[in-house]
Amino acid sequence: MKLKLMLWVLGWLLQRARRRNPRFRELLAETRGLDWGVATEDLAIARHYRMSPRGIEHGRGLPVDLDLELRFADAASALAILRRPTQQAFLEGMMEGRVRLVGDSADLERLQKLLRHL
């Protein structure tokens, strides 16, 4: 339940940052949008985010047309890594097999740049 709530709040924070933070809007315009999602491996918990300069939408599930997916072994792993979403935490999680990246790692770097401005 904590992970579901955290992912929902993340969507709300992204929308708020787009409204209030000019630097976030600028970076979002430079990236020309990013569609990404977060899920557990069994897809029991999944949420996607569609970010563009025109707006940010988020919803349940993982559509097949996402640019980037972050798949976590379980909800506890996701909570542990997402509470401190540094590049080092993601790398350690990938090496330990707790995180799987589906998509281009350059998209992950773009996402991390945007998330710094929340």
For residue 1, pLDDT over 80 is answered with no
Supply the pTM of this predicted model: 0.89
The confidence band for 86, taking pLDDT boundaries of 50, 70 and 90, is confident
Q: What is the pLDDT of residues 31-66, one digit of tens each?
A: 888 999 999 999 999 999 999 999 999 999 999 999
Superfamily name with CATH number, domain 2-115: SCP2 sterol-binding domain (3.30.1050.10)
Q: What is the pLDDT of residues 6-27, one digit of tens each?
A: 999 999 999 999 999 999 999 9
Query: Distance between CA atoms of 12 and 28, rounded to whole angstroms?
Result: 16
* Domain residue extents for the chain: 2-115
> According to the model, what pLDDT value does residue 33 have?
86
The confidence band for 90, taking pLDDT boundaries of 50, 70 and 90, is confident
